[in-house]
Amino acid sequence: MYDMKALYEAKSVADAVALRVAHPEAQIIAGGSDVLVQMRGGKRAGKELISIYKLDELRGISIDAEENIRIGSLNSFSHITRDPIIQKYINVLGQAVDQVGGPQIRNIGTIGGNTCNGVTSADSASTLHAWEAIIEITGPDGVRREPIHDFYIKAGQVDLRPGEIQTAILIPKASYENTFGHYIKYSMRNAMDIATLGTSVNVRLSADKKTVERCRIAFGVAGPVPMRAEIAEAAANGKRVSMELAETFAKAVLEDINPRDSWRASKDFRKHIAVESAKRAFIESVKLAGGEL
């Protein structure tokens, strides 16, 4: 049994916002793969819950009028992996979320829940940062959009203000057009384990495939929140593709990241795998983009 004070079921996004205003201490619940586990463990016992799970308006993946890829917050991980738009333009996101838990979790867990949790180890987080995602948030004052970098405030806390819910994640055309990426998850076990480190790289090459026009890299578990490694990006942008560039790029990530010691891995080990995974993900991204090293 779950110890909850009350459960309110939203009938629309507007109704969910109204419920949030009326019950400011209530917890939003979508798939429940995180909230219900925490509640059963006593962490959220006695809480009010607002369920948004039946809001089909928050599902679906499309390309909007501004040519952003729009991912509704209630899309399950399984749906994202199989979606043709994701497969065509940002297949790496589907590959990343396909490493969340097991099949049951991927069928019920949602991309919105993964981001709103605010944890640095979320498998979607580093890829969404590397692709410069925009978070769409709806609240009493209407709709606002915020870069995902600003959405994450600190470990376990995101920028959802009173009455607000996350309604979508947007990937701008400038971030996905002619861009190819690769995600590497390092974990102690290969099955159903959270990341010891997550690394997501994407590149856009010149027409002749010889030069890096644009490179992005982001990490999970390299700091208290997911983070870009902008010094490393600058080391690759505009440079000729080569194995030497892959080495330089990978070593540069040490200027950006700040991992911690934990029972899962030491700070030094996380730094070691950050360099190695950055190199491997860069090489694979270049190959996917049609380049040769």
Question: Going from the N-terminus, what domains does the chain have, and what CATH number goes with each?
Answer: 4-50 (no CATH), 58-174 (3.30.465.10), 178-288 (3.30.390.50)
- Residue 5 predicted with pLDDT over 90: no
Q: What is the mean pLDDT of residues 223-252?
A: 97
Q: Which of 129-155 are b and which e, b meaning 16 or more Cβ less than 10 Å from the residue's Cβ?
A: bbbbbbbbbbbeeeeeeeebbebbeee
* CA of residue 58 relative to chain centroid, distance: 17
Residue 191 has what pLDDT? 58
DSSP H or E segment with residue 178? none
Largest Cα–Cα distance in the chain? 61
Closest CA to 50 of 65, 35, 37, 64: 35
Helix or strand or coil: residue 187? coil
pTM: 0.93
Residue 212 has what pLDDT? 98
Beta-strand runs (E) in 58-191:
61-63, 69-72, 134-139, 142-147, 152-154, 157-158, 165-171, 180-186
- Residue 40 predicted with pLDDT over 70: no
Q: Per-residue pLDDT tens for 96-128?
A: 999 887 878 888 889 999 999 888 888 899 999
Q: What is the mean pLDDT of residues 67-92?
A: 97
- Residue 57 predicted with pLDDT over 90: yes
Pairing outcome for strands 180-186 and 165-171: unpaired
Residue 2 has what pLDDT? 67
Sequence-ordered list of residues with C-beta below 8 angstroms from that of 48, at least 6 positions apart, any chain: 4, 5, 6, 7, 8, 23, 25, 26, 27
Residue with tokens 């806390």: 157
* CA of residue 172 relative to chain centroid, distance: 15
Backbone angles phi, psi at 263, to 5 degrees: -65, -20
Rounded distance, CA 264 to CA 136, Å?
33
Exposed / middle / buried, residue 254 (Cβ in 10 Å: 0-12, 13-18, 19+): middle
